[in-house]
Structure 1
Amino acid sequence: MEHELTFQKIKEQVELPELLSHFGYNLRKGEHLGKGKWHVFEGDDTLVVFKGRGGDWMYFNAQDDRDKGSVIDWMKNRVSSDRIAGLAPLPGRNLWQSVNDHFRAYLNLPEAQRPRLDLPPIVETAPGEKFHSIYTHHCRPLENTAYLEGRGITKSTIANPQFAGRILNQLYTVQKEGMPTKTYVNTAFPAYHEGRVVGLELKGEGFKGQAPESQFTRSLWLSKLPEGRPAAVLVVSESALDTLSYAQLHPGDNALYASTAGTLTQNKIFELKRLLSEEHIPAIRAAFDNDTQGHHFDIRLLAGLASEQNPMKVVREHEHRLTVEITAAHPAGVQALSQHLKAYNDQVTRQYAQENGEPDTPASSQTLRDELIHSNKLGAHTYQFHVPMSREALGTFNQAASQALAFEHRVEIVKSQGKDWNQDLKQDQLQRVVRRELGGIDEDQYGFGQEHWDNAPIVGQGTIAQQHEAQAQARAKGERLLVVEFRESRDAVAQLPQLRDNLERVGLTIDHAIKLETPVARGIATELTLRYRPDSAQLPAISAALDALAANPRATVIEPAPDAAERRQLAAAQEQQRQAGPQLVPSDSQVHDQARQSFIEAAGVVVKELRGHAANLEAARLQEVSRQVAKKPELAGLNQENVTKVLAVIAGLDTLKDNPAVQQLRQAVHTLERPALTPAPPEIRQRGLRPG
């Protein structure tokens, strides 16, 4: 029978739940979400089905705000999108004709093939009643902002229209037997894919998680587009918190904001490219964390956005090295990239020679080679670049590639001064508080104004003077205090975080770090206040680090001359004492005493090699164990644990693990880990009896 179908007749004759069942959707059992007001069906997506005004069936896609309406809309959206097999535009028919034809085919099915569902009754939904995504049905509009404000996000940033509805509160209720019900409030960030909510990132005090079945491998957290004008740039960072921090630090940017929830997959890059194209955004700004992973994400993004003129891909991701392959018929871009990288390699080589001596041994040459960026040509137009997995090397490659190669969209790479943008935000707010509280006083790094110090400053911009009261206080505690000024450019990869790590690793304590005014355009100057103890076991490493820093053209070390002379003398004396080795206290086991002496001799050589590999912590551990071995006949407890850690590190150093001194050390350890047998008392030996 042919039906004279109109849309009104379709609405009257087609039961949407039965239509969904026919095309493979399943009614979710035990669903209490609707409470007698709607049903939930799951198929290629999740649909909330309800009765609208007038009793017509309506639906709402829980994952796509654009997919909603009547039974007619459901069919139209499936026919136009090829979501369901068999529902597609028909040859020679336009969209609406195809929709009508598919309904006619459904209504012409034999009665036995038409599904019949016994559904509980539902009431008509009141006008304006909202339906929430399955990921957000426990969420409420953002009211509790304690988590965000505790991380420096201001109310004005939260109230920005671009973030309206993009940050929610999730209520999580816990009921334990015999205990009152407790409700937790988390901050929730919906994740979007092609306009649909497909996940939920959750943050709270001491908690982070995600909604069940969230699809983070292909989704992004997104702000809304700026109002009244097109976005000039798409800013992407690793977390929504960093994105909000960046927006607060750069309020003038006309941007669409996105975050990747800590990962950057190929599907996320596809989604970023879709946004750039569909919203006609000319540029993307990579604002990932200022750590190795953040720079790694930059390379992935560059590869995903590379133009057809010079396709780029990451062909190998090793723990210590990344291999990037570029194909370019016209070599100009690759040549420019190579020139940038050559300049970086030259700089690294000069620094290595300055700080460690000329690389004239195989070991040091290999150490240097591991820090350089290497390249080779595979074919007529194919080049590979092997980049060490360090912030400096990755950052240099990324900046050079973004400037020398062609991309589908303009690519900008920006980095925070600290690890991430939220850390920068909190540091910026701290400095604002200091300036507000101290007013116009020219405060120094101790919080004292210039009026307090009636001393002329030494070289540099710092206010530390000779006979400084703070230095006198430190000296009274058996410590020495000095200041380092470090200068950088905003256009280069930030070196300060690595410098701080290196200083702390050798044993220096960083008291304060404050930004200084600098007359250099795009320049950054930071003042670090350092302290150390002259009786520290790490003094040789501390002294060497400070002397190397003083030779760095970007640094000024402000240190009283008597303190500098003292530390060098004490470090030299400590090094001589270390080389002489500790005096062995004899035990009752000749075998163990020989192994102890062998251990001490080998440890002296290995400690020196470890320092040459910048493994100062392991060198200090081994040095301390060597002192203990001179007093004790066995390796046990903490000493044994420290030796195990040192040997594990050595095993990863190709230029050291086969050193004869290391082999000697291992043999001695093997003996010293066994108990030293105590000889029997003379009277027992005379009787030929065993002790005990």
Structure 2
Amino acid sequence: MKVDFNRLKTEISLPDFLLNLGWKFVAGSSNSCPKMSNGTHTIVIKRNAQNQYTYWDVHSDNVRGRTILDMMQEHLFETTGKQPTLREVGEILQNYINTNQIITPENSRYDVGNTSMSTDELTMYLKQLLPYKGNYLQKRGISEESIDSPVFKDVFLIREVKNKNTTYRNICVKMYNDKGVQAISQRNETFKGIIGGKFDCLATSNHDKSRPIDILYVGESIIDCISHYQLCHKDTSLNLVYVSTEGTLTEGQMQLLRIIISKNEVKSLRTIFDNDKQGYKYTLWLDNNLRGMQHDVEQMDSEVLKNTAYRVQNTEFPQKKDWNDDLKAATIEKAAD
């Protein structure tokens, strides 16, 4: 049987297919970004740049960018106890298409969105960005001096979104890959989200490109990055760069870090992830990816995970959960004095 693997990934509506396998929609699901669970796994479905249905598991950072082939292979293994080859899975799915047993995207009620943006879409969103104003950052202990510092000046922007009679001011930062701006991270008091695909993009601070980078910091949130700067490097003469994953650390972001290091003279790379289980994992993943270590991250219990992460070279952890929590605590303590 002739199998068109790309057709399998694009012409079978993955949400409808999973419904037939017994999966259900769960809280946080939408037509453009379905969130589904089978009781064991919970996944989010989006399309990639090739318009293929892909998914990631919200509880496992190792499961990202997979397709219906991976899903069907796992389903068959769980139901039969035998691991089919991708060829065998492809033939089964191709037969579904040939016998009209599937729902195509155009016939589906689930208009699954794309993780990437077209050039026109990106241009439109970038034109909506305005200079930062308001008190969102200040309420988190971040000073005007830090916001206007050479490291963070013009990094934070505002995107005004009107909904009925209310105007929301989302705090935004641009996210870059080696081709330039590809996504926008935005947040307000009630949500965080990414416009576009962040898989291989990082939010970044400013730096002096005419001289070597003294320290390249990698954090989970640009808010945490500027908090760390205010706590540890205010008025420094060091040439610093802060980059943020804006959430989960991905394989694409680790590859981008490799590119950044290869194209720049970086004297020191340090991680400033959260002081929690995910922060420890990200620390060890980067240690594996950039320094060639072999931490078996997924097999470690919580205490071993923490102890191992704390021993990693050039790693800084906040005393509280994240660096903004540390900054807010320091601000309260200073005010009390």
- In the other structure, the counterpart of 1:171 is 160
CA distance in 2, matches of 1:154, 1:316: 37
Of structures 1 and 2, the larger Rg is shown by: 1
CA distance in 2, matches of 1:133, 1:223: 21
Following superposition, the deviation at residue 194 of structure 1 comes to 1.0
CA RMSD of aligned residues (A): 2.3
Q: 5+ residue gaps in structure 2?
A: 1-48, 50-120
Q: What amino acid sits opposite 2:304 in the alignment?
A: A
Q: Does 1:159 align with 2:148?
A: yes
> Residue 225 of structure 2: which of 222, 232, 243 is its match?
243
CA distance in 2, matches of 1:285, 1:231: 12
Q: What amino acid sits opposite 2:150 in the alignment?
A: P
CA distance in 1, matches of 2:265, 2:150: 21
- In the other structure, the counterpart of 1:141 is 131
CA distance in 2, matches of 1:260, 1:161: 21
> Residue 317 of structure 2: which of 412, 415, 421 is its match?
415
- In the other structure, the counterpart of 2:242 is 257
The answer (yes or no) to whether the contact 1:135–1:198 under 8 Å persists in 2 is no
Q: What amino acid sits opposite 1:197 in the alignment?
A: V
The answer (yes or no) to whether the contact 1:135–1:197 under 8 Å persists in 2 is no
> Residue 225 of structure 1: which of 191, 196, 207 is its match?
207
CA distance in 1, matches of 2:322, 2:243: 15
- In the other structure, the counterpart of 2:286 is 301
Write out per-residue CA displacement over residues 221-250 of structure 1, whole angstroms, 9 at most, x where no aligned residue. Answer: 001114764321101111111001001111
> Residue 207 of structure 1: which of 191, 198, 209 is its match?
191
Provide the secondary structure at the position in 1 that maps to 2:207. coil
The answer (yes or no) to whether the contact 1:276–1:282 under 8 Å persists in 2 is no
Provide the secondary structure at the position in 2 that maps to 1:210. strand
TM-score (norm 1): 0.30
The answer (yes or no) to whether the contact 2:122–2:182 under 8 Å persists in 1 is no
> Residue 186 of structure 1: which of 170, 185, 190 is its match?
170
CA distance in 2, matches of 1:278, 1:304: 17
| Aligned counterparts, 1:347-358, within 5 A | none
CA distance in 1, matches of 2:172, 2:141: 17
- In the other structure, the counterpart of 2:307 is 396
Provide the secondary structure at the position in 1 that maps to 2:199. coil
> Residue 335 of structure 2: which of 433, 451, 472 is its match?
433
Write out per-residue CA displacement over residues 323-360 of structure 1, whole angstroms, 9 at most, x where no aligned residue. Answer: xxxxxxxxxxxxxxxxxxxxxxxxxxxxxxxxxxxxxx
CA distance in 2, matches of 1:203, 1:316: 30
- In the other structure, the counterpart of 1:272 is 257
Provide the secondary structure at the position in 1 that maps to 2:151. helix
The answer (yes or no) to whether the contact 2:148–2:154 under 8 Å persists in 1 is no
Shift in alpha-carbon separation, 1:227–1:267, aligned structure 2, 3 A: closer
Counting aligned pairs with the same residue, the percent is: 30
> Size of the alignment, in residue pairs?
216
CA distance in 1, matches of 2:149, 2:316: 23
Shift in alpha-carbon separation, 1:267–1:313, aligned structure 2, 3 A: farther
Provide the secondary structure at the position in 2 that maps to 1:412. coil
Provide the secondary structure at the position in 2 that maps to 1:192. strand
CA distance in 2, matches of 1:286, 1:276: 14
Provide the secondary structure at the position in 2 that maps to 1:398. helix
Provide the secondary structure at the position in 2 that maps to 1:246. helix
CA distance in 1, matches of 2:199, 2:122: 22
Shift in alpha-carbon separation, 1:312–1:227, aligned structure 2, 3 A: closer
- In the other structure, the counterpart of 2:98 is none
CA distance in 2, matches of 1:299, 1:237: 13
Q: 5+ residue gaps in structure 1?
A: 1-43, 45-130, 176-180, 323-386, 403-410, 436-692
Provide the secondary structure at the position in 2 that maps to 1:225. coil
Following superposition, the deviation at residue 413 of structure 1 comes to 0.5
| Aligned counterparts, 1:524-535, within 5 A | none
CA distance in 2, matches of 1:298, 1:132: 31
CA distance in 1, matches of 2:269, 2:297: 25
Shift in alpha-carbon separation, 1:250–1:315, aligned structure 2, 3 A: closer
Following superposition, the deviation at residue 396 of structure 1 comes to 2.4
CA distance in 1, matches of 2:146, 2:181: 23
CA distance in 2, matches of 1:185, 1:169: 6
Provide the secondary structure at the position in 1 that maps to 2:320. coil
Provide the secondary structure at the position in 1 that maps to 2:173. strand
The answer (yes or no) to whether the contact 1:266–1:304 under 8 Å persists in 2 is no
Q: What amino acid sits opposite 2:317 in the alignment?
A: K
Bigger relative contact order (CA 8 A; separation at least 6): 2
- In the other structure, the counterpart of 1:424 is 326
